[in-house]
Structure 1
Amino acid sequence: MARQNKRLDADLASLADMTSADLQERWSAIAGEAPPKAPPALLRRLLAQRLQERRHGGLPVMVIRELERMADKQQPAAAPVAQRPALTNGTRLIREWNGQTIAVEVVEGGFSRDGRTYRSLSEIAREVTGAHWSGPRFFGLTHRG
């Protein structure tokens, strides 16, 4: 038993030094199937789990059945709906950027700034900053989440 645990420990430790190709080859040898499309870090964890299951056994059948029963009862999650404030014609968006006040007005078919019409807020944000920005985020309509 102690010898088997040492072997498992050595197998687990060897995963850290394996290349992506080595991990995929090892997966095929252990699982008898093509490896999942996963980054190397995840494949290492999956291999570690497989190795430990082989040594210690997997989940008890009773637990597997209970998990399957719970999954069958689970309702599919509804896709989250992003709530963005409605922008109606005439709405003004104002943002300070490097000491400059950026004022944009919502117009039919886009946004107006300094007499020019733009199709998106991102175009304006890119012009103002010189970098790629999410226009709605630049003007405070959405938050990084």
Structure 2
Amino acid sequence: MTNSLSLELGRLATMKPTELRSRWREVYGNVASNVSPDLIRRVIAYRLQEKGLGKLPSHIERELDRLNGKVGTSAPIPSRRGPILPGTRFVREWNGKTIAVTATDSGFEWDNDTYRSLSEIARKVTGAHWSGPRFFGLTAKVP
């Protein structure tokens, strides 16, 4: 990796959200979607690396597209099979806040409390009824 690219990537790590959105406009020529600063940082970093080091070979892009289903769509989320083992961590971003839950022998630990289910945590986080497994991405949305 070139020294200037390394410096640019290092600067991204310390940029504030407004600076990141401004850098996005410089790199992409449009306004960034309403996504987290971390995602903006990663996408800009990818584009800068792509410009500096070259794109992925087309056969690799095709394989990634194949694995992802279709271009522009998400890969289907497989249904969870088997038990959730103690120590498993679930991470979800909600309204700019990262929700990190750890499975324990007695339930699920989040925010210094233990809950019986992921659904209890999802309800507490969102204020609405959610399927906990769906909220944490363990199951796909039923059409």
Q: TM-score, normalised by structure 2?
A: 0.47
1 or 2 for the larger relative contact order (CA 8 Å, sep ≥6)? 2
Q: TM-score, normalised by structure 1?
A: 0.46
